[in-house]
Amino acid sequence: MPYFSTIHRFHYTEKVNEGPIVLMIHSTGVGSWQWKPYFETMPSRHCITVDLLGYPPSDTFSSTFAIEADFEALGVLLSQQEKKVDIIGHSYGGFLAMQLAKKYPSSIRSLLLHEPVAWGALFDGNRIDLQKEFLALCDRFFQETSPQADKWLNVFIDYWNREGTWIALPERTKEIWRKQFDKVYAEVKHLCLDRTPLAYWETIEHPTWITLSKHAPAHEKEVCHLLSTTIPNAKLIHHKGGHLAPLTHFSEVAPIVEKWSKDQLS
């Protein structure tokens, strides 16, 4: 299996090709496998997708590790490339992609972000109602010092999907979430407490596509709208599905990925 190392060891999957590189960053709770079906939509591209810390077979996450370990690892991977890289990121992966664009602007050519979770932007908008709702949601997420995995995951999974989703999951799927719970919880806490101001993202000059699904939570819809009007070269693309559309609505998202990839080559 291919790995690269920082102070941790990270597994990655790639489709080797002579074309420009696309780095694909997965969302919370999933893993690099979420992007493998999209390799076929970019036949002329060299595709790389990384398992972030805590997602097997990358190193196990521990609360003694800083959440920034993912960002540092992706920065190392970028530094190893000879030419500019296009980046795709989903949710937490979208947030990491935006941060990479800020820190390594000369290493990146363009971004495709599916519902990047940049909650700090929400507090620079004028939707006071959504801000209050979001803070109430955070209270639910973090009301217990040592949360019980199933109880917490029930709230988290249902928020991004619909009520009853966690209960309806197959037991084998629940067990995967339980095993990754410590990292999932750390990612969510990091994102929910983030207060990076909206203006911070104004200096991202890369062409940026932001995709937004029909059934995304209202807070996330607002964040995507705010980002799309703040990042100078951004455009917002609507499609069917929900926050997990890259997984559940491949037929909707794949044509967008394919068109984005071709546009960057033209």
Per-residue pLDDT of the chain (266 residues; tens, 9 = 90+): 799 999 999 999 999 998 999 999 999 999 999 999 999 999 999 999 999 999 999 999 987 677 799 999 999 999 999 999 999 999 999 999 999 999 999 999 999 999 999 999 999 989 999 999 999 999 999 988 889 999 999 999 999 999 999 999 999 999 999 999 999 999 999 999 999 999 999 999 999 999 999 999 999 999 999 999 999 999 999 999 999 999 999 999 999 999 999 998 87
Q: How far is CA 175 from CA 14, 59, 77, in A?
A: 27, 18, 30
pLDDT of amino acid 146: 85
Q: Which tokens hold the place of 211?
A: 């995709």
Q: For residues 9 and 97, state if they share a domain.
A: yes
pLDDT of amino acid 109: 97
Q: For residues 236 and 171, state if they share a domain.
A: no
For 78, what's the count of Cα atoms within 13 Å in the CB-facing half-sphere? Answer: 24
Domains of the chain: total? 2
CA-based nearest residue to 12, from 64, 78, 61: 78
Sheet with 3-5, side-by-side order of all strands: 3-5, 9-15, 46-50, 21-25, 85-90, 108-114, 208-213, 234-239
Q: For residues 152 and 202, state if they share a domain.
A: no
Q: For residues 45 and 147, state if they share a domain.
A: no
- The CATH number given to whatever domain includes residue 99 is 3.40.50.1820
Q: Which tokens hold the place of 183?
A: 């990292």
Owning domain of residue 54: 3-124+197-265
Q: For residues 12 and 43, state if they share a domain.
A: yes
What number of helices (H) and strands (E) belong to the chain? Answer: 10, 8
